[in-house]
Amino acid sequence: MDQPLRVGVAGLGTVGASVVRILSRRENALGRGGRGIRLVGVSSRTRNRDRGIDIDRCAWFDDPVAMARSQDLDCFVELIGGSDGVAKAAVEAALDAGKHVVTANKALLAAHGLDLAKLAEKRGVALAFEASAAGGIPVVKTLREALAGNEIIRVSGILNGTCNYILSRMEQEGLSFADCLADAQRLGYAEADPTFDVGGFDTAHKLSILASLAFGTEIDADAIYVEGISSITPLDLKMADDLGFRIKLLGVAERSKSGIEQRVHPTMVPKDSAIAQVMGVTNAVTIDADAVGEITLVGPGAGGDATASAVVADISDVARGRVGAPFGLPTARLDKLKRAPMQRHEGGYYVRLSVLDRPGAAAAIATRLAQADISLESIVQRRAETPNDDPEQRSHRAVPVVLTTYATSETAIRAALEKVIADGHIAEAPQLIRIERE
């Protein structure tokens, strides 16, 4: 009988501790159809901390790089995090030593995935990363294996539970972004420095991985246009609801005439769409393909047990001898990504303007949009309340005006709004949100 797969886990935070618990609980069942699985080593920054797990039978390594090189290990599990530093050094050491690697580290893959995949292929070992893109949702395996017979047209989805939680609370309770963020931090959904999540960068890293799998291209996280959610207000969410939409932070990668378009930004989606029903910390990924059409995968995108489930599934695959090209194709066959400039993106737009309440302002704005060949689908004005109707006071008062457009280009809408700003008829920067109708 084959010897068990000897596993070492580096990083014993929430996910790492969950991985250890699952391996301990299901040690005999996980290797069905292949080798057994045995946890033999662990590494973390703090040794004598109560994590609620039994690691007494495991070798302790103060240095994860040393564990990665250990001859007593067959599979190195990296749950340290970060795109560089010790996480990168340990993964490189493990691969170079001929060890299989399982990781949940999207930042590492976004920055160095191609080089790490080349090293894994050279050594004939696995580089598995199901947990890196959407927590417990098996989207990596779906793209790489289950849909191998399809040409992927588009991958899109909610890839960050923190942002979805904040937007859901803002919509349902009318709270401000700042209040919801503070609550998310209190509950542990957001970090003390939330920029990586709310700025859209976490979603961008995950999207870069999914785009590589979907389109057979090299990872290029720098090609992704990124906007976060901090500018979204309760008024935007209320107006979206009135117009039949919800606002979600979406990551979108799709084929276009000018190349592969990759973008992360707040998006209005129809309230009756599948993606609009995804609330709270849940994630969802929709894949459009030529043979199967559209499929949507929904599930927990974060949390110890959900992410650990994906990590352990990768370990189980390694025990069964499933070692293939990390990104579906050998790295030599991955295409260079042909970037589609965001300026060429076409679609509908929601525009919220704080228009100064004076004669001719609205007409001037409409003229600027018409000059850019932008057709308006709807115009909604919210009259501001004032104690009197004094003309002088009214001329300094800003009235919220919401416009929605038919399909136009990013270049056209931004050029028109620059002229609107220059004309001096608005009191603050415009709010611009893209509309996805399908």
CB-based contact 194:162 (threshold 8 Å)? yes
pLDDT at 300: 86
Question: How far is the CA of 121 from the CAs of 67, 281, 330, 332, in angstroms?
Answer: 21, 35, 8, 10
The stretch 162-177 carries a mean pLDDT of 93
pLDDT at 35: 80
Q: Which of 56-70, 108-122, 330-344 has the lowest mean pLDDT?
A: 330-344
**Per-residue pLDDT band at 214 (split at 50, 70, 90):** very high
Contacts of 89 (CB under 8 A, 6+ apart): 65
Regarding beta strands 127-128 and 100-103, do their DSSP bridges make them parallel or antiparallel, or are they unpaired? parallel
Q: What is the DSSP string of 16-72?
A: HHHHHHHHHHSTTTTTTTS--EEEEEEE-S-SS---SS--TTSEEES-HHHHHH-TT
When the candidates are 3.40.50.280, 3.30.70.260, 2.60.40.3950, 3.40.720.10, the CATH number that belongs to 345-435 is: 3.30.70.260
Residue 153 has pLDDT above 80, yes or no: yes
**Beta-carbon-side half-sphere exposure of residue 13 (alpha carbons within 13 Å):** 11
Beta strands in 37-150 (DSSP E): 37-43, 59-61, 75-78, 100-103, 127-128
pLDDT at 438: 65
**Per-residue pLDDT band at 371 (split at 50, 70, 90):** very high
**Per-residue pLDDT band at 1 (split at 50, 70, 90):** very low
Of the candidates 99, 106, 141, 206, the residue annotated as catalytic is 206
Domain boundaries defined on the chain? 5-134, 144-300, 345-435
- Phi, psi at residue 148, to the nearest 5°? -60, -25
The stretch 186-197 carries a mean pLDDT of 84
When the candidates are 3.30.420.40, 1.10.357.10, 3.40.640.10, 3.40.50.720, the CATH number that belongs to 5-134 is: 3.40.50.720
pLDDT digits (tens, 9 = 90+) for 268-283: 999 999 999 999 989 9
Residue 171 has pLDDT above 60, yes or no: yes
Residue 388 has pLDDT above 70, yes or no: no
419 carries an active-site annotation: no
Better-predicted residue by pLDDT, 435 or 437: 435
Residues β-bridged to residue 253: 155, 262
Angle at 274 between CA 350 and CA 342, to 5 degrees: 40
The stretch 128-154 carries a mean pLDDT of 93
CATH no., domain 144-300: 3.30.360.10
Residues β-bridged to residue 39: 7
CA separation for the pair 110, 212 (Å, rounded)? 10
CA separation for the pair 112, 110 (Å, rounded)? 6
Q: Which of 22-36, 208-222, 275-289 has the lowest mean pLDDT?
A: 22-36
Q: Label residue 14 exposed, middle or buried (CB < 10 Å: 0-12, 13-18, 19+).
A: middle
Q: CA 69: distance to chain centroid?
A: 32
